[in-house]
Amino acid sequence: MKKITIAEMAKYNGQTVKLGAWIANKRSSGKIAFLQLRDGSGFVQGVVVKAEVGDELFATAKALTQETSVYVTGEVKEDTRSAFGYELAVTDVEVIHEAKDFPITPKEHGTEFLMDNRHLWLRSRRQHAIMKIRNEIIRATYEFFNDNGFVKVDPPILTGSSPEGTSELFATKYFDEDAYLSQSGQLYMEAAAMALGKVFSFGPTFRAEKSKTRRHLIEFWMIEPEMAFIEHAESLEVQEQYVSHIVQAVLTNCKLELERLERDVSKLEKIKAPFPRVSYDDAIKWLNDNGFDDIKWGEDFGAPHETALAESYDMPIFITHYPIGIKPFYMQPHPERDDVVLCADMIAPEGYGEIIGGSERIHDYELMKQRIKEHNLDEEAYAWYLDLSKYGAVPHSGFGLGLERTVAWISGVEHIRESIPFPRLLNRLYP
């Protein structure tokens, strides 16, 4: 008999198959038991009818506890009442390991308890759905960039210098030298773009963020494309096409997961390039005119500002041309204004905040040197980076998309901690 996974069941309609599975939940009466089976690939209901399997097997099925592992044999049957579409008419159950007192029961648990048990919480339907959506976003990311002529490049994680100063950096030792965990691979990706034209990275980044928000992790994953000969406005087009692509991919390939999360898909269905562009100047003016007197020109937005600005759109928006003083040293100044730079943040709808930060980069050697000095960065450590504007400098742009923010938004989960398997938070390094 064929051993298959739940995800493969549709191909075996009417046939008897064997599944390796865990008991996610169970309901039973004197005559019939409903086993909620999960095997990682999906969830399906197994039906055990006493009159058909006999007293002994029925007693075994009735006694199954949550998270007990089993081999179940049965016939695949169409089941039009379930979203999955199939069920298993069970003919045999073989217990592999009996789980006793699984701590996460179907009743409600507090967040701290669930976080302490993250290694077990991951088995839930909800977490399963989020992880599958995360995986689909990663898959669609590779698809988009590969289809558009980008080369994947992996920047280092241990670094000697960092793009944005050292305040949020994790310091470590590199033998006798000081080293830092990467908080962005951008500078290396710029070097890679000068070698390979269009490049993207996907890797972990680390920030010692001291603030406790629902949008910040200490360790998160970033996708960082960098493109030679691409100017600011052209980069925005790549960004909106990329984000539209991943949203469409999730809508197409994660229907069951979105349903399980009760995601309002009508909101996602509207996401299509182009996205609105709003200048920082106009954004500040709009905020001040609409009751936000806690922010003035020259300051960065807080979460409530970003939420309010995005609220009147059903699309992600770009906020463009931020003041030079609140952005990193490498951003290209506006050709007609010296107080703003050629940059944009993409703000997701529904209160999820900034998902992308991007800009055109300076490619003038003297200006880059001056900006490094103004930011009190160690010129020696940036000598290699300065070489990029010394030998065949070209206009180039890039951006960084935070994977977990994007997963949270597309999945519709409120807190970023659920969008990564093992979140690192201000007060949490375990499990």
Instruction: State the residues that interact with Mg ion by CB under 5 A.
Output: 354, 357
360 binds, among Mg ion, ligand ATP, none (CB under 5 to 8 A by kind): none
Neighbours of 134 (CB within 10 A): 24
Measured from the CB atom, is 220 or 382 closer to ligand ATP? Answer: 220
Q: Which of 42, 74, 316, 402 binds ligand ATP (CB under 6 A)?
A: 402
Give the nearest distance from C-beta 106 to Mg ion in angstroms.
38
DSSP assignment string, 139-163: HHHHHHHHHTT-EE----SEESS-T
Round to whole Å and give the CA distance between 226 and 200. 6
Round to whole Å and give the CA distance between 227 and 160. 24
Q: Which of 355, 368, 388, 408 binds ligand ATP (CB under 6 A)?
A: 355
What angle separates helix 125-147 from helix 232-253, to the nearest 10 degrees? 140
Give the nearest distance from C-beta 217 to ligand ATP in angstroms.
4
Matching residue, tokens 């400098």: 393
Give the nearest distance from C-beta 220 to ligand ATP in angstroms.
4
Neighbours of 348 (CB within 10 A): 23
Measured from the CB atom, is 64 or 347 closer to ligand ATP? Answer: 347
Measured from the CB atom, is 21 or 355 closer to ligand ATP? Answer: 355
Q: Which of 50, 134, 207, 321 binds ligand ATP (CB under 6 A)?
A: 207
Measured from the CB atom, is 164 or 281 closer to Mg ion? Answer: 164
Whether the Cβ atoms of residue 345 and residue 318 lie closer than 8 Å to each other: yes
Round to whole Å and give the CA distance between 345 and 400. 10
Whether the Cβ atoms of residue 411 and residue 403 lie closer than 8 Å to each other: no
Give the nearest distance from C-beta 406 to Mg ion in angstroms.
14
Give the nearest distance from C-beta 278 to ligand ATP in angstroms.
16
Measured from the CB atom, is 9 or 346 closer to ligand ATP? Answer: 346
Q: Which of 39, 87, 136, 404 binds ligand ATP (CB under 6 A)?
A: 404
For the record, the structure tokens of 215 come out as: 């949008």
Whether the Cβ atoms of residue 245 and residue 144 lie closer than 8 Å to each other: yes
- Binding of ligand ATP by 67 (CB under 6 A): no
For the record, the structure tokens of 417 come out as: 């901690």
Measured from the CB atom, is 22 or 221 closer to ligand ATP? Answer: 221
Neighbours of 229 (CB within 10 A): 12
How many residues line the site for ligand ATP (CB under 6 A)? 16
- Binding of ligand ATP by 217 (CB under 6 A): yes
Q: Is the peptide bond before 335 cis (omega within 30 degrees of 0)?
A: no
Give the nearest distance from C-beta 222 to ligand ATP in angstroms.
5
For the record, the structure tokens of 267 come out as: 């909101």
Q: Which of 400, 411, 412, 423 binds ligand ATP (CB under 6 A)?
A: 400
Stretch that binds ligand ATP, among 238-246, 291-299, 351-359, 383-391 (CB under 6 A): 351-359
With vertex at residue 189, the alpha carbon angle to CA 184 and CA 190, rounded to the nearest 5 degrees, is: 115
Stretch that binds ligand ATP, among 11-19, 28-36, 84-92, 354-362 (CB under 6 A): 354-362
Measured from the CB atom, is 106 or 325 closer to ligand ATP? Answer: 325
Round to whole Å and give the CA distance between 165 and 180. 11
> What stretch of H or E contains 125?
helix 125-147
Within 8 A by CB and 6+ apart from 9, the residues are: 17, 42, 44, 76, 86, 88
136 binds, among ligand ATP, Mg ion, none (CB under 5 to 8 A by kind): none
Stretch that binds ligand ATP, among 21-29, 281-289, 347-355, 371-379 (CB under 6 A): 347-355
- Binding of ligand ATP by 357 (CB under 6 A): yes
Give the nearest distance from C-beta 399 to ligand ATP in angstroms.
8
Round to whole Å and give the CA distance between 6 and 15. 13
Residues lying near ligand ATP in the complex (CB under 6 A): 207, 209, 215-217, 220, 222, 353-357, 400, 402, 404-405
